[in-house]
């Protein structure tokens, strides 16, 4: 407490300087104003600052310093850093500008270097440049809050009166601080006691809460563990049921079961999750290619059948070891596909490709009589091809040659039409 009182006394003794502080008058900045008008106002500014204030002009410092000060602008911290060791305590900045109505605005900014703060930033607008005369500028300068501190000459009466007033205020403040300090000390002791009791109660409450949460956490973990175990068992049963459905060829029922919302909600955070997900993916992929094959069988489209046979068989065998009934029927589906391909090629007059398709069909499924009948009727078919080529010799020789070449590829030289086709082909080519 004694130390604080001593500090207050020191503050009283140094609250105001014995002599006026010094202000550095920075070179005015002009904006959108005639040079002649600006020079008049600057002249009035300079005259007032020189005669009325204890000042240092920008004209009195070196160019190097002026350049350094010019970078600070309205940044108090910059002025403190670059002019802290100078013989002035304030910086007076000025901006003179003119608007479209030829009104002139004089803005004065006063910066306290030591306190690093802008103490004044005031503007005054004049109707005309001539209105900013010596008297008007001085009136504007007098409004600066620190005018008394930087006014030229010795300490003013108003400053002395202000100092005494501040001394009285500080003395009253000191006494009030002593009283408040005692009250604060008493309140502090009471507050510390109250906080100690509250802390003890809070510690007890937190310990009780911790014990309760720990108990709930253990119960929750035990419940979750049991739930996950139950889910794992349920998922295993689901997977076994789905595989059983697949082995019986009940694919739609199997897919419906494994993709149901009830099954999807079962999670065990174990390997069974991955197994169910893999089985679901396999089933959906298998069902997609199986449907393509069945659609191909229905509409007699060879591409839909043959392009999906191998993928469907591989997926089927990966779902159920050895495959389901689908794998047992896959050869018949493939034979149907080659039969459809043979008819497509025959219709397109591509007899070589048709012959290959019928041969594969008969090889895969000897019971496909349509394929074996076609192969057994080659003499008749070759004759039809030869007759067609013979008709085309005169108006489409290219197509005729193509038909004749196909005869050479689908029958042997023993066939009566083989030699005819060979001879006609030589005649057409030469």
Q: What is residue 266's DSSP assignment?
A: -
Q: Residue 272 pairs with which residues in a beta bridge? A: none
By the 8 A CB rule, do 302 and 296 touch? Answer: yes
In a domain, 239, yes or no: no
- Please give the angle made by the CA atoms of 155, 157 and 160, to the nearest 5 degrees: 70
- pLDDT score of 15 more than 80: no
Least confident of 84-98, 272-286, 373-387, 398-412: 272-286
In a domain, 32, yes or no: yes
Residue 93 phi/psi, 5° resolution?
-105, 150
In a domain, 79, yes or no: yes
**Residue 136 to residue 340: CA distance in whole angstroms:** 109
In a domain, 98, yes or no: yes
Task: Indicate the average pLDDT of the chain.
Answer: 86
Encoded tokens for 96: 């003179």
The verdict on pTM exceeding 0.85 is no
Q: What is residue 105's DSSP assignment?
A: E
In a domain, 360, yes or no: no
Long-range contacts of the stretch 147-150 (C-beta < 8 A, 24+): 149/16, 149/17, 149/20, 149/21, 149/90, 150/20, 150/21, 150/22, 150/23, 150/53, 150/54, 150/55, 150/89, 150/90
In a domain, 198, yes or no: no
The DSSP H or E segment spanning 271 is helix 271-299
Predicted confidence (pLDDT) per residue in 176-196, tens digit: 999 999 999 999 999 999 999
In a domain, 128, yes or no: yes
Collapsing DSSP to helix, strand or coil, 111 comes out as strand
Collapsing DSSP to helix, strand or coil, 126 comes out as strand
By the 8 A CB rule, do 52 and 151 touch? Answer: yes
Domain interval for residue 149: 17-154
pLDDT at 48: 92
Residue 145 sits in a domain whose CATH number is: 3.40.50
Predicted confidence (pLDDT) per residue in 145-183, tens digit: 888 888 874 344 455 456 668 888 888 999 999 999 999
Number of domains composing the chain: 1
By the 8 A CB rule, do 422 and 429 touch? Answer: no
Q: Does residue 249 or residue 196 have the better pLDDT?
A: 196
In a domain, 121, yes or no: yes
């Amino acid at each position: 407490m004694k130390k604080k009182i001593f500090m207050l006394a020191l503050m009283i003794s140094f609250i105001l300087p014995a002599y006026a502080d010094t202000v550095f008058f920075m070179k005015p900045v002009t904006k959108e104003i005639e040079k002649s008008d600006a020079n008049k106002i600057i002249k009035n500014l300079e005259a007032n600052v020189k005669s009325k204030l204890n000042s240092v002009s920008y004209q009195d410092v070196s160019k190097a310093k002026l350049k350094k000060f010019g970078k600070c602008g309205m940044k108090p911290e910059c002025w403190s850093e670059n002019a802290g060791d100078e013989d002035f305590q304030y910086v007076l900045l000025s901006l003179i500008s003119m608007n479209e109505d030829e009104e002139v605005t004089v803005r004065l900014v006063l910066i306290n270097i030591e306190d690093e703060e802008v103490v004044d930033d005031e503007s005054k607008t004049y109707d005309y440049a001539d209105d900013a005369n010596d008297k008007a500028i001085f009136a504007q300068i007098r409004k600066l809050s620190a005018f008394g501190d930087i006014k030229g000459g010795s300490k003013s009466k108003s400053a002395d009166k202000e100092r005494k007033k501040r001394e009285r205020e500080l003395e009253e403040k000191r006494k009030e601080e002593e009283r408040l300090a005692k009250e604060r000390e008493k309140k502090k002791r009471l507050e510390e006691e109250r906080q100690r009791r509250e802390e003890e109660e809070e510690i007890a409450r937190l310990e009780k809460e911790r014990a309760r949460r720990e108990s709930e956490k253990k119960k929750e973990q035990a419940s979750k563990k049991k739930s996950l175990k139950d889910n794992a068992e349920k998922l295993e049963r689901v997977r076994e049921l789905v595989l059983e459905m697949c082995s019986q060829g009940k694919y739609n029922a199997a897919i419906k079961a494994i993709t149901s919302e009830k099954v999807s909600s079962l999670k065990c955070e174990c390997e069974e999750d991955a197994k169910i997900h893999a089985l679901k993916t396999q089933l959906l992929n298998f069902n997609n290619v199986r449907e393509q094959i069945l659609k191909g069988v229905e509409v007699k489209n060879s591409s839909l059948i043959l392009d999906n046979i191998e993928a469907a068989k591989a997926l089927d065998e990966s779902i159920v070891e050895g495959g389901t009934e689908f794998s047992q029927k896959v050869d018949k589906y493939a034979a149907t596909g080659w039969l459809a391909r043979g008819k497509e090629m025959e219709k397109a007059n591509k007899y070589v490709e048709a012959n290959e398709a019928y041969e594969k069909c008969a090889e895969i499924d000897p019971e496909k009589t349509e394929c074996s009948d076609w192969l057994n009727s080659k003499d008749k078919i070759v004759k039809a091809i030869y007759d067609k080529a013979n008709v085309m010799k005169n108006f489409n020789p290219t197509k005729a040659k193509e038909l004749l070449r196909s005869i050479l590829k689908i029958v042997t030289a023993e066939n009566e039409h083989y030699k005819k086709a060979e001879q006609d082909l030589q005649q057409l080519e030469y």
